[in-house]
Amino acid sequence: MPALYCQPPTELSVECAQSCAYRNFASDLELTGLDYLIFMFRVYFDDSGTDANSDITVAACYVSTKRGWDEFVTEWDRARWQEGFDSFHMAEFTAPSEHQHKPYCDWDEVKKNHVYERLAKIINQNKRIGIAVAVPKENWNRTPERIRLHFGTEHYTFAVRLCMMQIAKWRKKSLISLPIQYVFDWEMNTSRKRKEIDTIFEIFSNPAHEHLAEVYGVEPEGYSFQRKENFKPLQAADILAWQMRSHMHKIWLHDQDDLSLCHPGFRMLREDQEMDLGFMTEEQITRFVEKVDAWEKSIGPLPPLYPQR
């Protein structure tokens, strides 16, 4: 085995096994008494640009099997130990060195490129599919209020809903019927983003919507909010979310995805990989509204799910 991927000392392996929140979480799921395969698939969500100063919001996620995520965490921990970082945050990694984000501010471009390529390889080798949606806030703000009250008054909620629709399509295409454990990056109970996501899963937990739960692979209590410092797969979603937002800024005026503008780091995550990426340009939002209008003509008005601001 190449030296780059050599095993860290046994002491580190034991420490990780004892303290890794991800592994404890996985073990807890197996101890629920449910069928072991019930949470064979897990999806990890992160966001980018949800602060008030950002003009674009992104929801990004990776889906894999339990085995895939176990191997991901093992390789990610090796990379952390060998390369000399703790929790990977893309915004800090790409920030100018004068911002003093350790250890990245001390790395030269060669080191940074090497680490990023290694992490991208770990992601690509262990994920099943990557899904992300970028939403320019002004585009969503201009949609009819009745649509925003159903799909999310928060831009991030709308992006998550679109990602979940693509997860449902992927499940159907891949003939996957087993449930998925949904894991989101940490949000306080009082945050509006968390409340709106809670609402989505509360609806799925209602026996009256059992058919929807099956489509999206949602089980009762089948979602949670965790901290990316402890749940390493969330750090992979963080990378994808950052790259999506950066790319959206480049293609916004083109009103369509332009691969020629793709950053090499983003290209690593896209080329020859199963990815489903949505860039909600003004044209895409218009098409979405037209689809909703068609739905309502056939099934009636969509109910408001979220209170007005």
* Res 21: pLDDT: 62
Span 169-190, pLDDT tens digits: 999 999 999 899 999 999 998 9
Q: Are 279 and 248 in contact (CB under 8 A)?
A: yes
Q: Are 162 and 133 in contact (CB under 8 A)?
A: yes
Q: What is the pTM of this model?
A: 0.88
Q: Label residue 3 by pLDDT band (50, 70, 90).
A: very low
CA distances (Å), 93 to each of 59, 113, 226, in order? 19, 11, 21
pLDDT at position 304 over 70: yes
Q: Label residue 82 by pLDDT band (50, 70, 90).
A: very high
CA distances (Å), 204 to each of 61, 193, 199, 302, in order? 20, 17, 9, 16
Residue 203: which of 164, 145, 256, 163 has the closest Cα? Answer: 164
Q: Are 305 and 295 in contact (CB under 8 A)?
A: no
